[in-house]
Amino acid sequence: MGRKRKNRTHLKGALPTTETGVPKSFIIKHGQVGSSLSQLVRDIRKVMEPNTASRLKERKRNKLKDFLTMAPALQVSHLLAFTLTDVAPSLRIVRLSAGPTLSFRIERYSLIKDILNTSRRARSIGMEYLSAPLLVLASFPPASPTTPPHIPLLMKTFQTMFPPLSPQTLTLSSARRVVLVSYNADRETVDFRHYLITVKPYGVSKRVRRVLEGATAKTPSTPSILDLGNEKDIADFVLRRRGDPGPDGGYESAASSTESVAGDDGDAVDLADDYVGRNNKKGQRRAVRLDEIGPRMELRLVKIVEGIPGKEGNVIYHHFVKKTKKEIAELKAEHAAKAKLKKERREEQERNVQRKKALAESGHKKAEGEDEDEAIDDDQDEEDAEVDEDEEDEFDEGSDNWDDNEEIEDSEDDADEDPESSEEEEEVKRPVKKSRTKGKR
């Protein structure tokens, strides 16, 4: 067998860079959530593509602080955290890295699969997720003295989650999806919708369009050929009234067929450039339609807090808790005191760090000075040792004559000693002979 060759799947060269100023997001779930809410998290990631971490995986031991720590290094601007509470699912939108944090209660929601199962037209092929969606803000009250202060902040939060729209640089073929965020003043909720932009021929009935474009095959094996086996004439198929089962029901006029397909003239536009789809060329008149592909959410704003989770500041807005001006002033003073104390502690810590660095540098210099002193002392010790050796040599030369005299004196003293004691000493000093034993070899 031949040797299997490994395919190199990694990117060669530099990594592709994204546009500057484009918001990026983390969409996560934390805590114990069900399978339905987990699927909602994946659906919202598809909505926010391609400027989100689509394959981000959360572990049970991961905390919200872990994602807040890693987000600035990856240039992430928004964090959407889903969790399940005792009342209802909740969503927190965190603007990194200084806040604010908006907390929502999810009143109702529908998944992508639910929308596609109930819709006859909406179909998603996946290629539309290669470009960012267009954002449409609807039904928000205009800025005025009577407008609640949290409404402009709510609008700004959703507006900064998506890339800014630039008509000068936007290509028509990249506008594939629309995200609609509408405000319901009666219920005080925010409706979140996701649509797919479809373009159809204008002024042509559905039957004529099927003849021109070809029938849509339900399965890949089915050929896209129009079935006219039950029709006596092509006019029976093209001009039959809507709802009539056979060719004997009569015909419809061209005006009625046009209105039934394309609606009024307000839905028709002239394409400024080539668009996705068959025969959608520049200058052609087409009818634009929005097909909802999901997900769908109904959000209720609960609270707006300055800062990020773990570093919260003042409460800007609360839907259920209302405070007086005095209580608000006390809370602001308390937060100001905490911020002042935190700043003092940070400055003190910086001073301690600088002091320790200075001590370490001075200690290092002192250690170098001690090493130099020790080196000088070693040199002096070596010189003293050489001088002592010379004196010892001189002393040894003079001590040879002194030893001779000493030997002579010893010999004289020995002569004066008793001969009997000398004989005894010789006997003691005489070595003892070892006895040999005879044995067989």
HSE (side-chain half, CA atoms, 13 Å) at 253: 3
Instruction: Evaluate whether 46 touches 112 at the Cβ level (below 8 Å).
Output: yes
> Burial of 182 by CB count in 10 Å (0-12 exposed, 13-18 middle, 19+ buried)?
middle
Per-residue confidence (pLDDT) for residue 353, from 0 to 100: 93
Contacts of 222 (CB under 8 A, 6+ apart): none
- Residue 274 tokens read as 């080539």
Residue that is written with structure tokens 């003092």 in the block: 344
Burial 117-155 (b: 16+ CB within 10 A, else e): eeeeebebeeebbebbbbbeeeebeeeeeeeeebbebbb
**pLDDT tens per residue, the chain (441 residues)?**
566 666 655 544 444 445 667 999 999 998 889 899 999 999 999 999 999 999 998 888 888 889 999 998 999 999 999 999 999 999 999 999 888 999 999 999 999 999 988 887 667 667 889 999 999 999 999 888 888 889 999 999 999 999 998 888 888 889 999 999 999 999 999 999 999 998 887 777 676 766 666 544 444 444 556 667 777 777 777 766 555 555 444 444 444 444 444 455 557 888 888 888 877 888 888 888 889 998 999 999 999 999 999 888 888 899 988 888 888 788 888 888 888 888 899 999 999 999 999 988 888 777 777 666 666 666 666 666 665 555 555 545 444 444 444 444 444 444 444 545 555 544 545 555 555 555 554
- Residue 235 tokens read as 């006019």
Integer CA distances (angstroms), 412 to 373, 421, 423, in order:
57, 15, 17
Report which of 92, 90, 91, 96 is spatially closest to residue 77, judged by C-alpha positions. 96
Question: d(Cα 279, Cα 292) in Å, to the nearest integer?
Answer: 23
Beta bridge partners of 109: 297
Cβ atoms within 10 A of the Cβ of 395, count? 9
| DSSP for residue 222 | S
Question: d(Cα 306, Cα 50) in Å, to the nearest integer?
Answer: 28
Torsion sign over Cα 115, 120, 126, 130: negative
